[in-house]
């Protein structure tokens, strides 16, 4: 178990190194740099002034030197300064992480709390009206683009309740924060919920046909015990994988939801930073998301071992 | 008669005192903001995204009268300057300054700050500003000298009455000498009615009341909070729900303005020119566009009304380089416009002339001129470029759209690396000096088409020195006509957009010919 974890941690380090090189190179391949963008807003181009900006920001240094500066700083906890705000990158990123974490956490909670039970119900009541209803709803949820759904939800709130659940200032209390994040979390979590529900259903249907489930029933176990103790635990393996993937997505892929609900989270900030070619900001944000993704993958792999003893024994 | 006069006077006094008493102190004005400003330094930016939120932090030497609905030379009133005087040769301008004004950090404001600001803007002091987008505005300033703490003197090369309009514009605040330029980009210090409190990237900007403001009793608001909402649909819903008091200036398209007024009948909305125009850029150094005839044919293909109808349901205006009336002061009258080639009502007739030119050059339905229309890849530019491509087909030009990322767009324009481009550009002030010197002067950085006409340039200077406004306007019309007919940068439309606010907001007075001024908020108050 320890050896397995250590091996995974080693792989994590290699993956992160690869991501760091990829993002560094990709950003430099994209046409234009911060000096171009700064002059875009002013609409004026004085080559001397522009060259000075390039020099001041160290963009005229060889790429290897620039990369070494960044990674060296990163390892020492110095993420550099944003080209746009001229503030330390850490000061810009840190306040945004809890915002995205709360939104992603609530969305995930919503997705799991609705997706798994409805999936189980749908499987247990296969081909009943409830099963059909849940399948239609989940298909609709999967098909709806989140920006459209988000706007529909906002319109419904404005028209029927006369209020708008968007982020306009930092909530003062935990209760206020939960209330504010609930609507966007449910909106973004609906897709994940539908995915988890459909996967749970198909996985459960497969497991429920297994011999050991029939054996459990023939032993006289209650249907609840058969479903939840014997079937669900085995059906959860693919669901855990999807939950892992969704967690990673929710940390970096919330751009649409953050834009529609005006939430100043990591994803919206990342897109804006890319637009500005704010290299220190983009590189560090992408690294942060990469760390979240590989960490979640590690947790998922470790969770497999907890859920399925056969994996533990094989490793 | 005497009695009725007395009653009228009493009524007026009562009315005035009522109006004065009605102004309520306190409250936070909540304003939407369309995007993240590149920085907080007005002098270094050329976007309303910086100008509107940070104008309230500063003062100018003079301003356009906040109570007047137009920004014009005869509407310039004192701000940090108590008075100004020209010498007889109109080459020296002396400002007397307010005494006892303090910067937000407690330092005294003096004439040295004014000198320092314009030394930076004219490029006499290097390295203080990272960018200086309006350097051309101040080309006529020879030097700035101080005479004690309360007097500052501007020496000009030539007379230029309209320099006062540039001093009065929102883009010309006075900066403190003692604060480094990089700090002004992140934490601006001014003398204005509101102090800077915070600027959270992509989130919000907050200004708070300056309790030591040098204009007694002002401002009325406790704070102004801008929330950055890049998504227009969310912004409109937020306005309708009453989450905000005021929308960002000209952030609403004509259709959205109409829709918001239908949703909330009490909403106050103003549709106004945005000081931006769509224009056609033709690179006259690159064959075959070095041929004047092709450029002329292209101008004749444009149906300006169609642009207005498609892009704004007929709200966008047609005109030359200067903003058209009634809002604009220097634009052509309707009758004059009819005399300009390509501006006639009969578009088909113009296109027929264009086709004849192209045929004479060897082009036709079976041999169309192939080209790329380069544009910036954002809707305002792209939509107009698509319409342009359609119009060019009418004179045997088969064009392909080349959308460019913003980061590449200006760099390509600066390198003249384009053949034909669709451009949308803004102008800070409704004044011909800004328009002509910035965009059409030989060798100007912003003269993207490299149009250069020495005779016309003499007229640029001549109009700039004229004091007689009517005579100047006549000359400006003629210059503009020549520019359009030469295809220097054919103007396709003048954009308009809306600003809305709830009736609880009082004291908002939008200038109909500029979106860049009147955002000091010192007279604005809330009745919640």
CB nearest A44 (choices: B186, B242, B446): B446
Angle, vertex CA B145, rays to CA B143 and CA B147, nearest 5: 165
How far is the alpha carbon of B153 from chain A, nearest alpha carbon, in Å? 28
Residues of A in contact with B231 (CB under 8 A): 259-260, 262
Look-up of token digits 């300057």? B81
Q: What is the pLDDT of residues A49-79, one digit of tens each?
A: 778 778 888 888 999 999 999 999 988 889 9
Q: Tell me how many residue pairs between chain A and chain B have CB atoms under 8 A apart.
A: 131
Query: H or E element: which one contains B168?
Result: helix B163-168
Torsion sign (Cα): B319, B323, B324, B330: negative
Mean pLDDT over each residue of chain A, to the nearest integer? 87
- Chain B's closest residue to A35, CA to CA, is B407
How high is the pLDDT of residue B17?
42
- Chain A's closest residue to B48, CA to CA, is A41
A123-148: average pLDDT: 93
Report the range out of A152-156, A167-171, A193-197 with the highest average pLDDT: A193-197
Angle, vertex CA B327, rays to CA B279 and CA B336, nearest 5: 65
Predicted confidence band of residue A28 (pLDDT cuts 50, 70, 90): confident
**Cβ pair B410:A36 closer than 8 A:** yes
Two structure tokens written together for A222: 């209650």
Torsion sign (Cα): B513, B516, B520, B521: positive
Residues of B in contact with A255 (CB under 8 A): none
CB nearest B231 (choices: A41, A84, A260): A260
How high is the pLDDT of residue A250?
84
Query: E-strand spans in B324-437?
Result: 369-376, 397-404, 420-426
Lowest mean pLDDT among A27-41, A212-226, B403-417, B479-493: A27-41
**Cβ pair B186:A92 closer than 8 A:** no
How far is the alpha carbon of B127 from chain A, nearest alpha carbon, in Å? 9
pLDDT at residue A48 above 80? Answer: no
Residues of A in contact with B410 (CB under 8 A): 36, 39-40, 43, 45
Residues 6+ apart with CB under 8 A from B163: B93, B140, B141, B154, B156, B433
**Cβ pair A158:B186 closer than 8 A:** no
Predicted confidence band of residue A42 (pLDDT cuts 50, 70, 90): low
Q: How far apart are CA B73 and CA B512, in angstroms?
A: 14
**Cβ pair B406:A38 closer than 8 A:** no
Q: ipTM beyond 0.85?
A: no
Tell me, what DSSP letter sits at residue B368? P
How far is the alpha carbon of B214 from chain A, nearest alpha carbon, in Å? 30
Q: How many other CB atoms are there within 10 angstroms of residue B149's CB atom?
A: 14
How far is the alpha carbon of B405 from chain A, nearest alpha carbon, in Å? 8
Chain A residues 219-258 with CB within 8 Å of chain B: none
Look-up of token digits 């969305």? A107
Predicted confidence band of residue A165 (pLDDT cuts 50, 70, 90): confident
Per-residue pLDDT for chain B (528 aa), expressed as one digit of tens each?
344 444 444 444 444 444 444 789 999 999 999 988 889 999 988 889 999 999 999 999 999 999 999 999 999 999 999 999 999 999 999 999 999 999 999 999 999 999 999 999 998 887 678 888 888 899 999 999 999 999 999 999 999 999 999 999 999 999 999 999 889 999 999 999 999 999 998 899 999 999 999 999 999 999 999 999 988 899 999 999 999 999 999 999 999 999 999 999 999 999 999 989 999 999 988 999 999 999 999 999 999 999 999 999 899 999 999 999 999 999 999 999 999 988 888 899 999 999 999 999 999 999 999 999 999 888 889 999 999 999 999 999 999 999 987 767 877 887 788 999 999 988 889 999 999 998 899 888 778 888 999 999 999 999 999 999 999 999 999 999 999 988 899 999 999 999 999 999 999 999 989 999 999 999 999 998
Q: What is the pLDDT of residues B426-482, one digit of tens each?
A: 888 999 999 999 889 988 877 888 899 999 999 999 999 999 999 999 999 999 999
A276-303: average pLDDT: 89
Residues of A in contact with B200 (CB under 8 A): 95, 264
Residues of A in contact with B228 (CB under 8 A): 262, 264
Residues of A in contact with B377 (CB under 8 A): none
More confident residue, B97 or A40: B97
């Amino acid at each position: 178990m320890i050896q397995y974890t250590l091996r995974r941690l080693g792989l994590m380090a290699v993956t992160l190194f690869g991501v760091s090189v990829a993002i560094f190179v990709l950003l430099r391949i994209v046409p234009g740099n911060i000096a171009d963008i700064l002059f875009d807003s002013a609409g004026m181009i004085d080559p001397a002034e522009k060259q000075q900006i390039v020099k001041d920001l160290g963009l005229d240094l060889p790429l290897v030197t620039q990369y070494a500066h960044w990674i060296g700083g990163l390892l020492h906890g110095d993420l550099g300064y944003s080209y746009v705000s001229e503030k330390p990158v850490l000061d810009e990123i840190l306040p945004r992480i809890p915002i995205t974490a709360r939104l992603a956490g609530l969305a995930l909670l919503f997705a799991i709390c609705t997706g798994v039970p409805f999936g189980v119900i749908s499987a247990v009541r296969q081909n009943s009206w409830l099963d059909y209803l849940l399948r239609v709803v989940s298909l609709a949820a999967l098909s709806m683009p989140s920006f459209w759904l988000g706007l529909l939800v906002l319109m419904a709130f404005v028209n029927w309740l006369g209020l708008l659940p968007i982020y306009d200032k930092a909530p003062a209390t935990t209760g206020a924060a939960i209330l504010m994040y609930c609507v966007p979390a449910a909106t973004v979590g609906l897709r994940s919920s539908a995915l988890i529900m459909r996967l749970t259903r198909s996985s459960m249907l497969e497991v429920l046909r297994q011999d050991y489930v029939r054996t459990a029933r023939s032993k006289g176990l209650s249907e609840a015990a058969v479903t939840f103790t014997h079937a669900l635990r085995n059906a959860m393996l693919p669901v855990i994988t999807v939950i892992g993937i969704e967690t990673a997505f929710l940390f970096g892929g919330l751009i649409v939801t953050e834009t529609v609900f005006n939430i100043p989270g990591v994803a919206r900030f990342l897109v804006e930073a890319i637009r500005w070619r704010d290299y220190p900001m983009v590189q560090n944000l992408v690294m942060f998301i990469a760390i979240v993704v590989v960490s979640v993958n590690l947790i998922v792999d470790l969770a497999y071992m907890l859920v399925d003893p056969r994996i533990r024994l094989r490793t | 008669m005497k009695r009725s006069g007395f009653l009228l006077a009493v009524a007026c006094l009562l009315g005035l005192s009522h109006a004065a008493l009605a102004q309520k102190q306190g409250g936070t004005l909540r304003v939407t903001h369309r995007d993240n400003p590149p920085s907080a330094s007005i002098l270094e930016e050329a976007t309303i995204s910086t100008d509107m939120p940070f104008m309230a932090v500063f003062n100018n030497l003079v301003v356009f009268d906040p109570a007047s609905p137009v920004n014009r030379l005869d509407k310039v009133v004192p701000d940090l300057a108590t008075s100004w005087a020209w010498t007889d040769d109109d080459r020296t301008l002396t400002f007397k300054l307010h005494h006892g004004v303090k910067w937000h950090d407690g330092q005294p404001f003096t004439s040295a700050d004014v000198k320092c600001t314009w030394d930076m803007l004219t490029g006499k002091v290097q390295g203080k500003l990272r960018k200086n987008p309006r350097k051309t505005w101040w080309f006529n300033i020879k030097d700035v000298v101080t005479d004690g703490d309360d007097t500052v003197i501007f020496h000009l090369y030539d007379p230029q009455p309209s320099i006062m309009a540039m001093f009065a514009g929102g883009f010309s605040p006075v900066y403190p000498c003692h604060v480094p330029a990089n700090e002004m980009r992140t934490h601006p210090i001014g003398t204005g009615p509101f102090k800077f409190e915070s600027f959270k990237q992509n989130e919000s900007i907050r200004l708070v009341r300056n309790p030591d403001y040098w204009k007694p009793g002002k401002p009325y608001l406790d704070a102004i909070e801008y929330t950055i909402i890049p998504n227009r649909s969310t912004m409109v819903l937020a306005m309708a729900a009453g989450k905000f008091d005021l929308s960002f200036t000209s952030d609403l398209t004509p259709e959205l303005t109409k829709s918001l007024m239908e949703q909330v009948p009490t909403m106050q909305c103003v549709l106004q020119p945005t000081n931006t125009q769509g224009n056609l850029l033709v690179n006259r150094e690159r064959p075959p566009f070095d041929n004047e005839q092709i450029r002329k044919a292209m101008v004749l293909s444009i149906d300006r009304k169609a642009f207005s109808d498609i892009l704004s349901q007929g709200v966008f205006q047609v005109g030359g380089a200067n903003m058209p009336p009634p809002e604009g002061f220097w634009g052509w009258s309707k009758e004059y416009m009819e005399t300009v080639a390509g501006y006639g009502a009969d578009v088909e007739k113009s296109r027929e002339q264009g086709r004849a030119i192209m045929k004479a050059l060897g082009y036709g339905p079976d041999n169309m001129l192939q080209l790329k229309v380069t544009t910036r890849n954002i809707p305002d530019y792209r939509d107009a470029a698509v319409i342009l491509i359609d119009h060019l087909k009418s004179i045997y030009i088969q064009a392909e759209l080349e959308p460019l990322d913003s980061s590449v767009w200006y760099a390509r324009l600066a390198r003249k690396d384009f053949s034909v481009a669709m451009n949308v550009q803004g102008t800070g002030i409704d004044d011909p000096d800004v328009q002509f010197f910035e965009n059409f002067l030989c060798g100007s950085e912003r003269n993207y088409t490299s149009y250069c006409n020495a005779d016309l340039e003499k007229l640029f200077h001549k109009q700039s020195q004229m004091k007689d406004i009517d005579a100047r306007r006549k000359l400006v019309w003629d210059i503009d006509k020549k520019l359009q007919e030469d295809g220097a940068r054919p103007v396709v439309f003048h954009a308009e957009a809306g600003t809305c606010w709830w009736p609880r907001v009082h004291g908002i007075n939008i200038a109909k010919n500029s979106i860049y001024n009147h955002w000091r908020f010192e007279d604005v108050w809330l009745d919640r």
